[in-house]
Structure 1
């Protein structure tokens, strides 16, 4: 199959392209750096020519509320129109578990807008919602910084290794469209303050972690369902401690 990966030079996209090529597919890493731009539409029609599947794992260059909304809406409209014109049979998009539960979060609102456009289009689709990546835990920890302490929510989170996300994404890409949503999550749900504490200890950061039920996660107060997957989610194989050990060895 010819598979176009929009955002193919990023963390997830580059790994996905490699897996798809290893499985014998014609995977095109499409991004502005390779002459394919989903905002300006440069190279879009050419990339779609003969494509069976388009995978959207692109990320916005700015996470300011209006900018990120504009990015995902414009990019999705352009992609879906180009796919419809080219007769693409499957649109796959990577989204986030909990997008519809945290409306205070501008990035999550933008992903909800993206999902709505995909669902309203005539292109068969699958949405893969993933929980937060292990690779983002450092940024999550810093977002809770208050002076020399980390005031983190004790609500549950179910983070996942990006390699496990890519494995799930590859399986979705090579399967038939479900015209619905699939979830993938890490093997363990744990309180965010505990996750942050383990990360700081592993990275030699001696800041104190303080559980705080009022601490906001990028604008939102959390409960145990905010960032955890449903009971039918696919679970990753790599747990956080193993990922930390692998990261340290690298």
Structure 2
């Protein structure tokens, strides 16, 4: 078994699930594909609820100064959002999606970019992507990435049934993102405490709500600009834990 195998399996399952979803989706009526997208939005929000659960866990509450449990997440999102906005991450992600749309020959009015951006964010956000990649880099097992691969396969299939090949193209940023964390795991070993993982999970949960709102056409929030918050959150709570 070699370092990076977990991410390779993950990428393969996403592409496989997306391909199967496209084949199924091509035979669906437009109103059925719209309904599936709305259901995915609801399920994404439901998944966000479970990701927000650590907010009330003893491990997280006891590691953060009193009154800072919510402020830590707010601070992480604000700082991360400021960084992401300055770097125009959302625009860059959409630009990458547009370049891939042209390369894949998808129609300009197609859902390619929407599928690419939504899937890339969904597959990258969450502790499994980070912790699983770190574990892979440390050569301590790929169990977490195998679990993530199973979940991503069905998510990719469902997304691609309504949003098309853009979902498969999402493996490019996902592979880069998880590859970076794998290298971090390879070089630094175990770096995150439990409460830091909780902060990251909660932050990811808020971002999943944003993705759900986007899929439901309720509010188009620039989730891509919030991505740095996933890196800020564990650092923010570490500072709070050590200095306050």
TM class by smaller structure: under 0.3
User: Which structure is higher in strand share?
Assistant: 1
Normalization by structure 2: what TM-score?
A: 0.26
Higher RCO (CA < 8 A, seq sep 6+): 2
